[in-house]
Structure 1
Amino acid sequence: MNWEQLLSTKRSRESAGKTRRYKNTDLRSEFEKDYHRIIGSASFRRLQDKTQVFPLDKSDFIRTRLTHSLEVSSFAKSLGQNIGENILEYKKDSSFTPRMKEDICHILQCAGLIHDIGNPPFGHFGEIAIREWFQRNLPRLTYHGKPLDQVLMPQMREDFYHFEGNAQALRLVTKLHFLVDENGMNLTYALLGTILKYPVSSVEVDADSGDVKTKKMGYYLADRQIFEEVEKETGACGCRHPLTFILEAADDIAYKTGDIEDAFVKGFISYSRLLRELKVLQDGYLKNQDGAFQAADKLEEYYRRAFEKGIADPEEYAVKNWIVRVQGFLISCATFGFTSNYREIMSGTYCHDLFYQTFGEKLMDLLGDLANRKVFTSETIYRMEVKEAVILNDLMDQFMRAAIKYDDPSQSLNSIDQRMVYFISNNYKNAYHYHARGKSEVEKLYLRILLVTDYICGMTDSYAKRLYQELKAMI
């Protein structure tokens, strides 16, 4: 892979301004234009009411998908600056230019904003709930008397069994966000390539392969054409785009440190618990490693500083300042992870994340494990997730029942089904009709099932809850 091709400015629909003869007064780069398209979109604004960890939380401190995405965007841009400068300074690539470094920073900034834009309501549990709904219901629901899992082609069926927010993000920005026409936000292929974390279809998923790129599905069968265009244009051709590794590292830093901070504020994790866990890590793994970040010592140092300054809550001061310090350390680790594996990443043979075999690897593992044990598997979260599952299951039941019969001349909608279809956004229905032209009945059925997930994934937490209550006459 080479940077000139990887940083492709091509779009599905090229700008009319490129073909005009008169001087263009818009001095923004193509990637800066992407940024403005994203922040001006309704889909991006809706992230302010989507769960990161704590659904429908009343606190104005706790992270939402929007604030998390802004953090990822910031970390990703910082990593791009560090890595780009390293490539230039140490002459790792003779074709790499300062302008390419600038473009990388803009692409990563945009990618951070949209990396979660396809996720359904209620966080990652929303993905699980929808995935499990399909596993239960595709064999049970029928189309012209035959179970759906037997009617659909294998890849269609596997798309739903492997339902994934990352694949939904590609679908949303390329087809569902109607701005000018059917090309969605019409973003550059370099940016689309960056958000393709898993460049494999649902029938190629292999979580046990040891290669990070096959862990999950990256695109739906319905979106294979745009996937293949992006892969060809950027030269990735089945490999991960190098910037995807950087985006993933930024995401990992943001959510693993952010989850700990939010959990501390909510009372799930105490200062003393965090310190104990860090001491075990430090004494057992980092003690004899020169240059390693002494995480427990640094937390205690911030506590002593707060005590000496007479700060009212030294534990809060220590944890919050420690989080910022850890984020800086992890950015350094990810920078090293990319630059030290540069050749393998650029050849498409690197199989790990950027923290693999760095000083930050064990710390990242600890933060993720601590959040899982003390937050994600707590009774409080479990109770919320059971409620969320009830909401999503009911919405899927009602909308899917109507969608299966919708646009099928051999079936008629009853009065309730007609109203359920009416509720679905016209944007999504227009996209369905556009892409259903000339398709077989099975392909149309597949697109109608996607129509339901498109609509539900576009919902905010509050809207999903409110719509469920209205449909259940709970007002």
Structure 2
Amino acid sequence: MNWEQLLSTKRRRESSSKYGKGTDLRSEFEKDYHRIIGSASFRRLQDKTQVFPLDKSDFIRTRLTHSLEVSSFAKSLGQNIGENILTYRKDSGFTQKMKEDICSILQCAGLIHDIGNPPFGHFGEYAIRHWFKENLPRLQYHGKPLEQVLTPRMIRDFYHFEGNAQALRLVSRLHFLVDENGMNLTYGLLSSIIKYPVSSLEVNPASRDIKEKKMGYYLADEELFQDIVKETGTNGARHPLVYILEAADDIAYKTADIEDAFVKGFIGFDKLLEVLRKLESEEPPVSGGFKGADKLEELYQRGLEKGVEDPREYAIKNWIVRLQAFLIQCATDGFNTHYHEIMEGRYPSDLFHGTFAQSLMELLGKLAYREVFTSETIYRMEVAESSILNDLMDRFLEAAIRYDDPQASLDAIGKRLMSFVSSNYKRAYHRQAEGRSEEEKLYLRLLLATDYICGMTDSYAKRLYQEMKGII
């Protein structure tokens, strides 16, 4: 892979020059940024879950605040890594302009990396996958089970439903701005959000190569995916910027989960100090200059000396800031160390693998899982969320099967349900369904209902469920 091709400014629909191209001094990637932040899809992230669904606190992070943090970390990593490539001449063709473009792309990618996620966070993704596995076998089309009508690839697209694949679909097709090309973002940017460049038939959760863990794109969007691959020259490998975006995401959510959990009372100062002490006693070299437990205690003492109201809160919040700086450096080192493997499409791991941060990142993930994600409070929320999503999927998928079917008709309730679906989404469906076979149209209708539910905010999904249940 080479940077000139990887940083492609091509768009599916090239912009017209009649609007005065010479007067706009923005780079193509800066134009992407403004398209993203001006979109309704991006604004809806303010009412989508990061960890705590439907939380009333102004402090707790949403998908929007998380995405802004990822965008910031990704740009910082891009600056560090780009400067390292220039300073140590890792690539003779790499220029200062390329470094600037990398930073702009990463800033945009951070904003949209979660834009395809359904309501209620990662549990929402699980709930939708589970619904398809439980219900697709019982649904029928013209008297036949859907599993006998759809192709294996189509079926596996739903069984492996993934927010990352949905993100590509949303920004490139569903967000109707000018035409069916969605936000019409650059191929360099689109390639950088495809974390898993494999189809649903190629997913292998047990693989040692990180790129095969999940599905990266739907069959419905394969033509676009292949265009992106050809234009950017990735040829089945991850775009190098994917590794940087993923590291930024890991830094953001693993540190934020600890801070939010502390504020919500799931993790205390003493508990965090205890697990850090235990980690450092078992693996002394792990800190690589960042002595987590010592730094946490030092900050607590500083809080006491300053007379702050809550020295424990002061310590944890400041500790997280220092931890984030350390993790940025480790991710930078990880990319630089494996630069040639990454550029050759051979690197199978994340950027923290083999660095001083690896054990610490694993520790933070396990701590959040044990103290927060498996708590009764979260389980109760997820049971309620499951009821909401299951009911919405039941109703809208049944209606979607009969929508636009010349051999069947929607009943009165079905017509009303399909009238709720965004006109943009239905326009995208009809455009893509032109000239397709009946099985392809059926597949696209199932995607249409899924698109609609994924686009809902947490509050809207809850309110619509209550309205349809007659809960006023």
Same fold (TM over 0.5): yes
Match of 1:61 among 59, 62, 66: 59
Whole-angstrom CA distance in 1 between matches of 2:120 and 2:147: 27
Q: What residue in structure 2 maps to residue 230 of structure 1?
A: 228
Quick check: 2:299–2:314 contact (8 Å CA) kept in 1? Answer: yes
Whole-angstrom CA distance in 1 between matches of 2:231 and 2:468: 46
Once the two structures are superposed, residues 300-327 of structure 1 have per-residue CA deviations (whole angstroms, 9 ceiling, x without a partner) of: 1100111111112100000000000000
1:22 is displaced (CA, Å) by 6.6
1:292 is displaced (CA, Å) by 3.5
Letter in 1 for 2:27: S
1:193 is displaced (CA, Å) by 0.2
Whole-angstrom CA distance in 2 between matches of 1:200 and 1:96: 28
Once the two structures are superposed, residues 320-370 of structure 1 have per-residue CA deviations (whole angstroms, 9 ceiling, x without a partner) of: 000000000000000000001000000000000000000000000000000
1:107 aligns with 2:67: no
1:289 is displaced (CA, Å) by 6.0
Letter in 2 for 1:139: P
Q: What residue in structure 1 maps to residue 314 of structure 2?
A: 317
Whole-angstrom CA distance in 2 between matches of 1:31 and 1:201: 27
Match of 1:401 among 398, 402, 405: 398
Q: What residue in structure 2 maps to residue 297 of structure 1?
A: 294
Quick check: 2:45–2:63 contact (8 Å CA) kept in 1? Answer: yes
Whole-angstrom CA distance in 2 between matches of 1:21 and 1:369: 53
Letter in 2 for 1:320: K
Whole-angstrom CA distance in 1 between matches of 2:407 and 2:357: 59
Quick check: 2:286–2:360 contact (8 Å CA) kept in 1? Answer: no
Whole-angstrom CA distance in 2 between matches of 1:318 and 1:421: 52
Whole-angstrom CA distance in 2 between matches of 1:473 and 1:350: 53
Q: What residue in structure 2 maps to residue 12 of structure 1?
A: 12
Once the two structures are superposed, residues 223-242 of structure 1 have per-residue CA deviations (whole angstroms, 9 ceiling, x without a partner) of: 00000000110000100000
1:291 is displaced (CA, Å) by 3.4
Quick check: 2:75–2:107 contact (8 Å CA) kept in 1? Answer: yes
Give the TM-score normalised by structure 1.
Answer: 0.98
Q: What residue in structure 1 maps to residue 77 of structure 2?
A: 79
Q: Which runs of 5+ in 1 are unaligned?
A: none
Once the two structures are superposed, residues 25-78 of structure 1 have per-residue CA deviations (whole angstroms, 9 ceiling, x without a partner) of: 000000000000000000000000000000010100000000000000000000
Secondary structure of 1:24's counterpart equals helix
Secondary structure of 2:392's counterpart equals helix
Q: What residue in structure 1 maps to residue 387 of structure 2?
A: 390
Letter in 2 for 1:303: Y
Once the two structures are superposed, residues 234-254 of structure 1 have per-residue CA deviations (whole angstroms, 9 ceiling, x without a partner) of: 000100000000000000000
Letter in 1 for 2:196: Y
Quick check: 2:280–2:287 contact (8 Å CA) kept in 1? Answer: no
Secondary structure of 1:95's counterpart equals coil
Q: What residue in structure 2 maps to residue 464 of structure 1?
A: 461
Whole-angstrom CA distance in 2 between matches of 1:92 and 1:424: 50
The alpha-carbon distance between structure 1 residues 295 and 448, as it changes in their structure 2 partners (threshold 3 A), is same
1:452 aligns with 2:449: yes
Letter in 1 for 2:83: E
Percent identical: 73
Q: What residue in structure 1 maps to residue 153 of structure 2?
A: 155
Summarize the alignment of residues 139-150 of structure 1 with structure 2, pairs less than 5 Å apart. 139-150=137-148
1:21 is displaced (CA, Å) by 11
Q: What residue in structure 1 maps to residue 272 of structure 2?
A: 274
1:218 aligns with 2:213: no
Match of 1:191 among 185, 189, 192: 189
The alpha-carbon distance between structure 1 residues 100 and 235, as it changes in their structure 2 partners (threshold 3 A), is same
Match of 2:48 among 47, 50, 59: 50
Whole-angstrom CA distance in 2 between matches of 1:412 and 1:314: 65
Q: What residue in structure 2 maps to residue 433 of structure 1?
A: 430
The alpha-carbon distance between structure 1 residues 45 and 21, as it changes in their structure 2 partners (threshold 3 A), is closer
Q: What residue in structure 2 maps to residue 283 of structure 1?
A: 281
Q: What residue in structure 2 maps to residue 252 of structure 1?
A: 250
The alpha-carbon distance between structure 1 residues 366 and 436, as it changes in their structure 2 partners (threshold 3 A), is same
1:39 aligns with 2:37: yes
Q: What residue in structure 2 maps to residue 381 of structure 1?
A: 378
Whole-angstrom CA distance in 2 between matches of 1:262 and 1:304: 22
Letter in 2 for 1:355: F
Q: What residue in structure 1 maps to residue 207 of structure 2?
A: 209
Whole-angstrom CA distance in 2 between matches of 1:138 and 1:240: 31
Secondary structure of 1:301's counterpart equals helix
Q: What residue in structure 1 maps to residue 171 of structure 2?
A: 173
Match of 1:25 among 1, 23, 26: 23
1:106 is displaced (CA, Å) by 0.2
Letter in 1 for 2:2: N
Give the TM-score normalised by structure 2.
Answer: 0.99
Letter in 2 for 1:380: T
Q: What residue in structure 1 maps to residue 126 of structure 2?
A: 128
1:443 aligns with 2:449: no
Whole-angstrom CA distance in 2 between matches of 1:150 and 1:116: 33
Whole-angstrom CA distance in 2 between matches of 1:443 and 1:450: 11
Q: Which runs of 5+ in 2 are unaligned?
A: none
